A and B are shown apart, each in its own frame.
Chain A
Amino acid sequence: MLLIDGEMEMSKRVMVVDDSKTMRDMVSFTLKREGYEVVEAEDGIRATEVSGVGIFDLVITDVNMPRKDGITLTKELRMKPQFRSTPILILTTEADATKKAAGKAAGATGWIVKPFDPDQLLSVVKRVCR
C-alpha cells in the first residue's frame, strides 16, 4: 500500500505463523479487532512465501512447526533487508528459557508466552510495535 499525500493512515500489517489453526484464529481475531491487518501462514515455508509480498510491521511466529520452525524462520527473515528492523515475536511456553534464548540469538525481538489471553497478547505487541 502506497502512501498518498502522506494522509492515508496505513493499518499495520502482521504476519501470524502457527501450525495450529486455533492459535492462528485467536491471534488474528485479537489483532484484527485492534485494527491490524493480518496475514496467516501455517508453517515456516508458507511464511517465507508470504514474506515476499508487501511490507510487514510485525511478525508473530510459533516455534514448533513442521517443515520450517520458528527459529529458522526468524533467522532467515532477519537476513532479508525488508525485515531487518521488523519486530519479530516468538510464541513460547512458560519458562522455556532455552527457546527464548534461541529466539533472541536468531534475532527475535521478544516473545509471547502461551497460553495468553487477548490483553496479554496486545500488551506484548505494544511493547515492540508502533
Chain B
Amino acid sequence: MNDFEQFRQTFFEECDELLQRFEDVATTLQPEGNDSETLNELFRAVHSIKAGAGAFKLDRLVVYAHELEDFLDQVRGDLIGLQADGPALIIQSGDVLRELVENAQSGQEAPDGLESVTLEKLRQLNPKKAIEVTPVAVVENAEATRTSYEIYFRPFRSMYETANEPQLLFEALSDLGDINIHIDTSKVVELSKLDPMESYFSWNIELCSDCSVEDITAVFEFVEDDCELTIKAKTISEADAEEIVKSSSVDDKSPDGAQVIVGKSAKPETERAKPQLGSIRVDLEKVDQLVNMVGELVIAQAMALESISSEIGIAQVNQLQALEDLTMRTRQLQEGVMAIRMQPIKALFSRFPRLVRDLSTKLEKDVTLILEGEATEVDKTIIEELSDPLTHMIRNCMDHGIEMPEDRVQAGKKAQGTVRLSAEQRNGRILIRVSDDGRGLDPDKVVARAIQQGLIAEGDELTKEDIEMMIFRPGFSTASAVSDVSGRGVGMDVVRRNIQKLGGRITLDSKKGHGSCFTLALPLTLAVLDGMLVATAGERYVIPLSSIVETVCPAPSQIKQMPDGGQVLSLRGNTIRLVDLCGCMGLSRKGLTEPLRKLAVIVETEFGRQVGIVVDELLGQQQVVIKSLETNYYNIPGVAGSAILGDGRVRLILDVDGLVTMTPKPSLSNFDKGQAIEAENQFQANATRGQSR
C-alpha cells in the first residue's frame, strides 16, 4: 500500500488547522480590495490540502481542492474579480472542502453532488478555460522497433549555473538503451581565458533504444531552456533515414541542416466566458472619456441656454418645458456618469483592521480599530490615492500616538487604545478622519523642535493651529528615535501634498494627553462643481457653493477697520474678517463705478473659520465643469481651477481656503507672515497674468 499511510494522522490534523485558518480569513473577505496576503493565505491553505490529498490518493478531495485552488489563484493574481457574492461563495466552498475532508478522514463516501453547486459557481466566475495542446507526437513507433537516435547536446552556462550535471543526464540516457558518447572539447580555452562557469563542451550521442523521442526529451526536461538539443531518429530497418528532428533553444551556431521546430505545447488558448450578470469590467480610461464628454455636454447645454435666453429673454426661457427637461436630464446624466466612478470607501478601509492587528502585536500595544461610514461613496481615484497616506497616518497613530498599555493606565485611560477611521459626506465634500485617543501633540515639544530647526524664532506667538500645522513641514519630527514602523515624521508633508493634489485639504486637531484627529477634506467629484457666480470690478469668478455659508449685505456700521489695515464684519456677535476680492485679484477699479453697497459672501473653510469675501454682485448659481489649471497652466494659490461658463468664457474658481490662508492674521509669527506676503504677491502677479486670457 501507500508508504505514506503513516502520515495520514498528521495530514488530517493539518487539514483541520488549514480549514480553520481558511474560515477565519475567508470571513474577512470583501468583494473588492482584498489584501494580497489574505488571498495568498487562502490559496496556500487549499494548495496544501490538495497536495496532501493527492499523496493519499483522496481523489474527490483532490479534484475539488484543485478547482478551488485554481479559482483562488486567479483571484490573487487579479485575473478574476470577486463580485458581491464572491466572499460568500468562497466561505461556502470552504465548508464543502471541510465536509470532503471529514468524510475522507472517516473513510465514508461524501454525499453525491455535494460539490456541484459551488463548483458550478466557481467555474462560472473563472474565465480561464485553457485548451492545452499536448505535445505533438513526433515519432509513431507503433511496433516499438529499436530506433537509432543521434543526439546533439550543447549546454549553455545557465545549465551549470542551475547545478545541472551532464554526467547525470548521460546516466539517465544510458538507462534508456545503449549509448555512445562523443565529446567535442575543441572550444576549451587556456586557463588565462577560462571562465569556470562557462560551457565549453558539446556532445554527440548515439542512442540505440526502443524508447520514444519523448522519453529522451524527458531526460532533458529540466535543462531544455539551458541548452541546444537536437534529436534525429533513424529507424534501423529503413535504408533512407526518416529524419524527424526536434530542437529547442537553438543558438546561433546550429549544427548542419535546417531544423524543423516541432511544436511542444502551444500557447493555451483562453476562452472568455460570457460577462457575468451584475457587473462588467470596464477600462478606467473609457469611463474618464465618458465623464469628459458629459462634462462638455453640460457646457454645451449651458451655452445653448444662454444663447436662447439672450434671444428671447430669460423669463420666456423659464417657461419652456422642453428646455427645463433638457437641463434636468443633462444633470441626471451627469450624476449617473459620476456615480460610475464612485465606490464605497469600504474598499479602502478593509485593509486596515489587519494592519492594526499586526501593528498591535508588533508594538505590543493593545489597540482597536473602529471604522465608520464605510458605505460612503468616493471617486475611485481617491480610493487609490488615499491608500498610502492613510496607511501612513494609521501607522503614525499606532506608533507615536497610542501609548503603551501601562502608560495609558497610569494616565487614567483604559489600557486599550482606539483608532477611529471615519468617512462622511458633507457640503459636497468627503471628510475622512483618522483619530486616536493617544498622547496627542505636545505643543511645547513641537515649539522647541521648531525653534531648533530654525522654523520659528523664540518668543514668536503661535496659535494652536500654527502648532498643529507645524507637523506638516518637511523634515519635522518630534520622534526621538526613528521607528521602523512609521519611519521618520517626514511623511506628513508628502501626505499633505498628495491630498492637495487631489484638490483636498488636511488638518490636525490635537490635544495633549487626549489624542489627535486628522481630517482630510476631499472634493466629492473631481469634475463638476456647483458654484456661485460673483462679479467684482467687472470680472467674474466662481465660488464653490459648498463653501458658502450665507451672503450678506452689511451696513457700514457693521464694518470695522483693523489696525493692520484689514476690515472685519460684525455679524450676530461674531467677528468675521473681510477679504476684498478685487484687491486680492489685483484688479483695479479705474474707470468703473464703485457699487454703493458691497456684498460679502461668507464662506467657511476646512478649519471652520469663516471669512467674508467682498464682491460687487451675485450673479446666481451655476453648475460648471472644472478644468484643472495645473494641467493647462500651473497651480495658483487661491485658485482651485477654472470653469467654462455658459457664455463660453473661462472663469477662475476660487479656492476659499487658499484665499483665507493668504489673509494676514492678527498675530502671526515671522515666517508665516513672510510666506503669506510672498504668496500674496505671487498670487497677484499670476492672477493678473491669468486674467488677461
Q: Name A residues whose Cβ lies closer than 8 Å to a Cβ of B.
A: 19-23, 25-26, 29-30, 64-66, 78, 84-88, 91, 93, 95, 97, 104, 107-111, 114-118, 126-128, 130
Does B634 sit within 8 A of A, measured CB to CB?
no
- Docked-complex contact B14 and A22, CB < 8 angstroms: yes
Bound Cα distance from A104 to B73, whole angstroms: 20
- Among all A-B residue pairs, the 4 with the closest Cβ atoms: A115-B54, A110-B222, A22-B11, A20-B48
Secondary structure of the A side of the interface?
mixed
Choose one: B2, B44, B69, B167; the contact of A66 (CB below 8 Å): B44
Choose one: A85, A111, A116; the contact of B55 (CB below 8 Å): A116
- Docked-complex contact A64 and B221, CB < 8 angstroms: no
Which residues of B in the span 7-38 have a Cβ within 8 Å of any Cβ on A?
7, 10-11, 14
Give the interface segment out of B158-166, B207-215, B376-384: B158-166
Nearest A-chain residue to B11, judged by Cβ = A22
Q: Collect the chain B residues with CB atoms within 8 Å of residue A85's CB.
A: 160, 163
Nearest-Cβ distance from residue B575 to partner chain A, whole angstroms: 60
Q: Knowing A93-B51, A115-B54, A130-B167 are in contact, say whether A22-B222 is a contact too (CB < 8 A).
A: no
Nearest-Cβ distance from residue B133 to partner chain A, whole angstroms: 12
Q: Knowing A111-B222, A128-B164 are in contact, say whether A21-B4 is a contact too (CB < 8 A).
A: no
- Docked-complex contact A21 and B55, CB < 8 angstroms: no
Nearest-Cβ distance from residue B222 to partner chain A, whole angstroms: 4
- Docked-complex contact B55 and A115, CB < 8 angstroms: yes
- Docked-complex contact B3 and A127, CB < 8 angstroms: no
Does B41 sit within 8 A of A, measured CB to CB?
yes
The contact string, 1 if C-beta is below 8 Å from chain A, for chain B 52-90, is: 111100000010000001000000000000000000000
The contact string, 1 if C-beta is below 8 Å from chain A, for chain B 91-114, is: 000000000000000000000000
Does B172 sit within 8 A of A, measured CB to CB?
yes
Does B168 sit within 8 A of A, measured CB to CB?
yes
Choose one: A86, A117, A130; the contact of B3 (CB below 8 Å): A117
Q: Collect the chain B residues with CB atoms within 8 Å of residue A25's CB.
A: 7, 10
Q: Collect the chain A residues with CB atoms within 8 Å of residue B172's CB.
A: 127
- Docked-complex contact A21 and B41, CB < 8 angstroms: no
- Docked-complex contact B3 and A30, CB < 8 angstroms: yes
Bound Cα distance from A86 to B47, whole angstroms: 27
Which residues of B in the span 197-245 have a Cβ within 8 Å of any Cβ on A?
221-222, 225-226
Q: Name B residues whose Cβ lies closer than 8 Å to a Cβ of A.
A: 2-4, 6-7, 10-11, 14, 40-41, 43-44, 47-48, 50-55, 62, 69, 132, 160-165, 167-169, 172, 221-222, 225-226, 265
Nearest-Cβ distance from residue A40 to partner chain B, whole angstroms: 13
Choose one: B4, B69, B225; the contact of A104 (CB below 8 Å): B225
Q: Collect the chain B residues with CB atoms within 8 Å of residue A128's CB.
A: 163-165, 168, 222
Q: A21-B14, A64-B40 are in contact. List 9 more A-B contacts (CB 8 A).
A: A23-B55, A29-B7, A64-B44, A64-B48, A110-B221, A115-B55, A117-B55, A127-B222, A130-B168
Choose one: A19, A22, A88; the contact of B44 (CB below 8 Å): A19
- Docked-complex contact A21 and B10, CB < 8 angstroms: yes
| Residue of A85, A91, A97 with most partner-chain B CB within 10 A | A85
Q: Collect the chain A residues with CB atoms within 8 Å of residue B54's CB.
A: 114-115
- Docked-complex contact B4 and A20, CB < 8 angstroms: no
- Docked-complex contact B10 and A22, CB < 8 angstroms: yes
Bound Cα distance from A45 to B225, whole angstroms: 29
Nearest-Cβ distance from residue B39 to partner chain A, whole angstroms: 12
- Docked-complex contact A115 and B51, CB < 8 angstroms: yes
Bound Cα distance from A91 to B52, whole angstroms: 12
Q: Collect the chain B residues with CB atoms within 8 Å of residue A95's CB.
A: 132
Q: Collect the chain B residues with CB atoms within 8 Å of residue A23's CB.
A: 48, 51-52, 55
- Docked-complex contact B52 and A20, CB < 8 angstroms: yes
Bound Cα distance from A84 to B50, whole angstroms: 32
Bound Cα distance from A115 to B57, whole angstroms: 9
Choose one: A97, A109, A118; the contact of B163 (CB below 8 Å): A109
Q: Collect the chain B residues with CB atoms within 8 Å of residue A66's CB.
A: 40-41, 44
Nearest A-chain residue to B52, judged by Cβ = A22
Bound Cα distance from A46 to B53, whole angstroms: 25
Q: Knowing A104-B225, A109-B163 are in contact, say whether A64-B7 is a contact too (CB < 8 A).
A: no
Nearest-Cβ distance from residue B597 to partner chain A, whole angstroms: 72
Bound Cα distance from A115 to B66, whole angstroms: 12
Nearest-Cβ distance from residue B49 to partner chain A, whole angstroms: 9
Q: Collect the chain A residues with CB atoms within 8 Å of residue B4's CB.
A: 26, 29, 117-118
Bound Cα distance from A35 to B48, whole angstroms: 27
Bound Cα distance from A29 to B50, whole angstroms: 20
- Docked-complex contact B162 and A109, CB < 8 angstroms: yes
10 A-B pairs (CB sep. < 8 Å) = A26-B4, A66-B40, A84-B161, A91-B51, A93-B47, A107-B162, A111-B222, A115-B62, A117-B4, A118-B4
Nearest-Cβ distance from residue B57 to partner chain A, whole angstroms: 8
Bound Cα distance from A128 to B41, whole angstroms: 31
| Residue of A20, A25, A88, A118 with most partner-chain B CB within 10 A | A20
Q: Collect the chain B residues with CB atoms within 8 Å of residue A19's CB.
A: 44, 48
Choose one: A22, A29, A117; the contact of B2 (CB below 8 Å): A117
Q: Collect the chain A residues with CB atoms within 8 Å of residue B10's CB.
A: 21-22, 25
Q: Collect the chain A residues with CB atoms within 8 Å of residue B225's CB.
A: 104
Bound Cα distance from A53 to B224, whole angstroms: 33
Q: Collect the chain A residues with CB atoms within 8 Å of residue B3's CB.
A: 29-30, 117-118
Bound Cα distance from A64 to B43, whole angstroms: 9
Q: Collect the chain A residues with CB atoms within 8 Å of residue B48's CB.
A: 19-20, 22-23, 64
Choose one: A22, A65, A86; the contact of B7 (CB below 8 Å): A22
Choose one: B14, B162, B167, B265; the contact of A20 (CB below 8 Å): B14
Nearest A-chain residue to B224, judged by Cβ = A104
Nearest A-chain residue to B8, judged by Cβ = A22
Q: Collect the chain B residues with CB atoms within 8 Å of residue A91's CB.
A: 51
Q: Knowing A22-B7, A26-B4 are in contact, say whether A107-B161 is a contact too (CB < 8 A).
A: yes
Nearest-Cβ distance from residue A107 to partner chain B, whole angstroms: 5
